[in-house]
Amino acid sequence: MKKIHIVGLGLLGGSFGLGARQKFPEISISGHDSNPQNLKDALTLGIITEAKENPDPDTDLVILATPADTLGELLVKTLDQVGEKTLVFDLGSTKAKLCALMANHPKRKQYLAGHPIAGTEYSGPKAAFAELLDRKVMIICELEKTDLHLKEKAYQLFDALNLKLRFMDPEEHDRHLAFVSHLSHISSFMLGETVLQKMADEKNIFDMAGSGFASTVRLAKSSPAMWAPIFTENKENILSALDGYISNLSNFRDKIAKEDSEGMYQEMAEINKIRDILDLGK
């Protein structure tokens, strides 16, 4: 492996760049970002060794790390640019639309659909760090549709970065992520919004916020440029998750209004089972 090219030099693309440079110091890593400041920062921070809009035809790996709604067009364009020995993979948070778009593409074998379950509430190249991916799960979809030999190039990088591979179909991926990732971001953004609205009347409302509030509202710091496209791309699954959430909130609201302490107690005790499930995952 000699050449990697990264498009989108934010938190994820940047962390892949830093990780790859650390593990394979001899490799040349070119990259591009539509935001000139990001591109400049990525060079300064050593995420890439060269700024270049398009990958060379003999690039081994092209990593696409741009917002979810841009990936389809970018992927098709990139596959046109590269030679036969290049593998292109993306890091998008939604997978079904992209895999459907690629279903009959003549270069389908040169594409690998990936999604690393890694991130922070920060964004941009300055938020990137090599260890972000360490021991994180990397979901791969439609594994069997990618060329066996080309896939090895990606695995070499994933292994070096200490990523744990998991395989699932794109529809299952999008259904699960709607509930265990996308919904969390919406709940957190709306929580932040609700308290900010209250701040109009109660200036010092944030003074009393403890660690519990900080924990639940952390994701409200996340990048709108990343998340607005995800909510559109995975619309159906997210609406289903969100409708379930709003319905649970409304039912619990009614229990509070009726002062149904016993009902609230029972419901929360049932939800406490999540302790065992979450601790199992550790």
Q: Mask: binding to its own copies, 216-245, rule CB under 8 A, as x and -?
A: xxxxxxx-xx-xxx-xx--x--xx-xxxxx
- The least distance separating its own copies from the CB of residue 4, rounded to whole angstroms, comes to 24
Residue ranges in 152-171 that form contacts with its own copies under rule CB under 8 A = 166
Indicate whether 44 belongs to the interface with its own copies (CB under 8 A). Answer: no
Query: Half-sphere exposure (CA, 13 Å, Cβ side) for 176?
Result: 11
Indicate whether 12 belongs to the interface with its own copies (CB under 8 A). Answer: no
Looking up tokens 């639940």 gives 216
CA dihedral 161, 167, 171, 175 (to 10 degrees): -70
| Binding segment (CB under 8 A) for its own copies, from list 7-15, 17-25, 153-161, 214-222 | 214-222
Residue ranges in 181-200 that form contacts with its own copies under rule CB under 8 A = 181, 183-199
Indicate whether 204 belongs to the interface with its own copies (CB under 8 A). Answer: yes
Whichever of 84 and 172 has its CB closer to its own copies, that residue is: 172
Indicate whether 272 belongs to the interface with its own copies (CB under 8 A). Answer: yes
CA distance 251 to 275: 22
- Phi first, then psi: give them for residue 87, nearest 5 degrees: -105, 135
Whichever of 135 and 149 has its CB closer to its own copies, that residue is: 135
Indicate whether 2 belongs to the interface with its own copies (CB under 8 A). Answer: no
Residue ranges in 70-99 that form contacts with its own copies under rule CB under 8 A = none
Can you give the length of the chain in residues?
Answer: 282
Whether the CB-CB separation of 71 and 92 falls below 8 Å is answered with yes
Closest CA to 111 of 68, 70, 82, 69: 82
Indicate whether 139 belongs to the interface with its own copies (CB under 8 A). Answer: yes
CA distance 214 to 206: 10
- The least distance separating its own copies from the CB of residue 276, rounded to whole angstroms, comes to 10
CA distance 71 to 69: 6
Indicate whether 143 belongs to the interface with its own copies (CB under 8 A). Answer: no
CA-to-CA separations, 233 to 74, 183, 230, 239, 245, in angstroms, rounded: 15, 14, 5, 11, 20
Whichever of 110 and 123 has its CB closer to its own copies, that residue is: 123
Whichever of 30 and 187 has its CB closer to its own copies, that residue is: 187
With CB under 8 A as the contact rule, the residue among 54, 56, 69, 108 that binds its own copies is 69
